[in-house]
């Protein structure tokens, strides 16, 4: 018995968002143990991050970028593999959801312009497309 294509496509989006979010948060959780935050920075709250953002060096933005890009990549791959039809649209939808999250983060937590541009332009839609291409190569 095969699953209804509409239900399968809904599952593709939900699974892509869940897997992408888990990958994103996992990378964020380990980032501080690999590249410790600057001395005196409180990265446990948005307020603490806002107050200490001026202390952050470019190296401190590596793991947030990787979390956004790899979370999007994983989500787009999952969505592509599960979707019954329109796989590219669903992969890009995952990228779009994560892009909205990235935009909201930039609004809540201002970051350096260079990082904002690299993150918003590079970590979401292009990586979702890459995830689609990688998944299509496997199917």
- Each residue's pLDDT, cut to its tens digit, for the chain (139 residues) gives 678 999 999 999 999 999 999 999 999 999 989 999 999 888 888 888 888 888 999 999 999 999 999 999 999 999 999 999 999 999 999 999 999 999 999 999 889 999 999 999 999 999 999 999 999 986 5
pLDDT at 61: 95
Nearest residue to 98 (alpha-carbon basis) of 19, 27, 35: 19
Distances (CA, A) of 114 to 50, 77, 110, 121: 17, 28, 11, 11
> What phi-psi label fits residue 111: left (phi over 0), alpha (psi between -120 and 50 degrees) or beta?
beta
- Residue 108 belongs to some domain of the structure: yes
- Residue 40 belongs to some domain of the structure: no
- Residue 13 belongs to some domain of the structure: no
- Residue 24 belongs to some domain of the structure: no
- Residue 83 belongs to some domain of the structure: yes
**Which residue range forms the structural domain that includes residue 111?**
61-139
Q: How many domains does the chain have?
A: 1
Alpha helices, DSSP H, located in 84-124: 87-108, 113-122
Helix, strand, coil abundance in the chain, percent, nearest 5 = 80, 0, 20
pLDDT at 1: 66
pLDDT at 10: 97
- Residue 9 belongs to some domain of the structure: no
pLDDT at 119: 97
Phi, psi (degrees; rounded to nearest 5) at 104: -65, -35
- Residue 96 belongs to some domain of the structure: yes
pLDDT at 117: 97
């Amino acid at each position: 018995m095969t699953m209804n294509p509409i239900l399968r496509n809904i599952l593709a989006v939900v699974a892509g968002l869940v897997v992408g979010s888990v990958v994103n948060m996992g990378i964020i959780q380990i980032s501080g143990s690999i590249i410790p935050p600057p001395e005196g920075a409180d990265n446990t709250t948005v307020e603490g991050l806002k107050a200490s953002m001026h202390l952050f060096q470019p190296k401190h933005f590596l793991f947030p970028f990787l979390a956004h890009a790899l979370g999007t990549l994983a989500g787009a791959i999952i969505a592509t593999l599960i979707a019954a039809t329109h796989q590219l649209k669903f992969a890009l939808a995952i990228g779009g959801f994560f892009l909205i999250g990235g935009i909201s983060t930039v609004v809540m937590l201002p970051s350096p312009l260079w990082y904002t541009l690299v993150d918003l332009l590079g970590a979401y839609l292009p990586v979702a497309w890459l995830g689609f291409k990688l998944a299509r190569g496997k199917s």
